[in-house]
Amino acid sequence: MARQDRAIRTRRSILEAAARVFGERGYASATVEQILNRAGVTRGALYFHFSSKEEVALGVLEAQMPIDRLPERSSKLQKLVDHGMVMAYRLQHDPLVQAGVSLALDQGARELDRNSAFRAWSDQLEQILTEARGQGELLPHIDVTDTAELLTGAFSGVQAMSQASCNRADLGHRVSVLLRHVLPSISTPAMLAALDLSPERGERVFQEYRESSPEAATTVTRS
C-alpha cells in the first residue's frame, strides 16, 4: 500500500472511531483519548491529521457534505434529484455520513459551526437550480434560494423521521416521495416527464460515481 493510501486510511479510521465515540457519549463529553483507543492509532498519528477534538469533529461533519463530482446530466433537475438520492443511499450505508448528521443535530456541540452543512447543501442546490433555470428547465416564478433552502431543510427532517421510525430503512422511498411532491411545482412539464425519481436511483448513481471518480475510493460505503 502506498504511503498516501495508508495516510488516507488512517485518517478515515480515526474519523470512524470518533464518529462512534461522539455517537455514544455526545460531542461535549468525548475525549481524544477515547478516540485514540477506539481507533487503535498512536497519539502522533492522530495529531498528524488533526490538531484537536474540534478538528476531528469538523472532519466528521465534512462527511455529510454534497459530493463534488457526481456524474454530469444534460438535465440539471436530474442532477438535483441525483444529489438527494445519493445522499439518501450514503446515509443508509456509510456510518461516517450518519455520524456527521448526528453531530450536526447534537445540541451539546456548541463550539462547532453546525450550520455549515445546511449552508453547503443549500448553496450546492441553489447553484444546480440556477443552471436548470439557464437551460429553461424551471417554471418562471421559482425563487431558487427559497427552493434550495426548502429542499435542504425538508430532506433533513425526512431523514430524521426515517431514522426514528425504522433506522432509515425506508429513506429511499421517503426521499422519492419528497421529490415527487416538490418537482411538479418547479419543473416545466416536459422536463418533469423525463426525470427518474425512483427510490433505487441513489444506489445506481453512487456506483456510477465510484467507478468513474479516482477520489471515490476514500468515500467508500460498506455494503
Residues at the contact surface with a second copy, assessed by CB under 8 A: 26, 102, 105-108, 114-115, 118, 146-147, 149-150, 152-162, 164-165, 174, 177-178, 180-182, 184-186
SS3 call for 187? strand
- Name the burial class of residue 45, with classes exposed (0-12), middle (13-18) and buried (19+) by CB atoms within 10 angstroms of its CB: middle
The smaller minimum CB distance to a second copy, of residues 41 and 103, is found at 103
* Cβ pair 66, 155 in contact under 8 A: no
* Cβ pair 187, 147 in contact under 8 A: no
The smaller minimum CB distance to a second copy, of residues 78 and 159, is found at 159
The smaller minimum CB distance to a second copy, of residues 185 and 218, is found at 185
What minimum distance in Å lies between the beta carbon of 154 and a second copy? 4
* Cβ pair 85, 172 in contact under 8 A: yes
What minimum distance in Å lies between the beta carbon of 12 and a second copy? 24
The smaller minimum CB distance to a second copy, of residues 196 and 208, is found at 196
Backbone angles phi, psi at 2, to 5 degrees: -65, 155
What minimum distance in Å lies between the beta carbon of 80 and a second copy? 13
What minimum distance in Å lies between the beta carbon of 16 and a second copy? 19
SS3 call for 195? coil
Alpha helices, DSSP H, located in 26-139: 32-39, 43-49, 53-62, 76-93, 95-105, 116-134
The smaller minimum CB distance to a second copy, of residues 46 and 151, is found at 151
Enter the C-alpha cell of residue 164: 426514528
What minimum distance in Å lies between the beta carbon of 104 and a second copy? 9
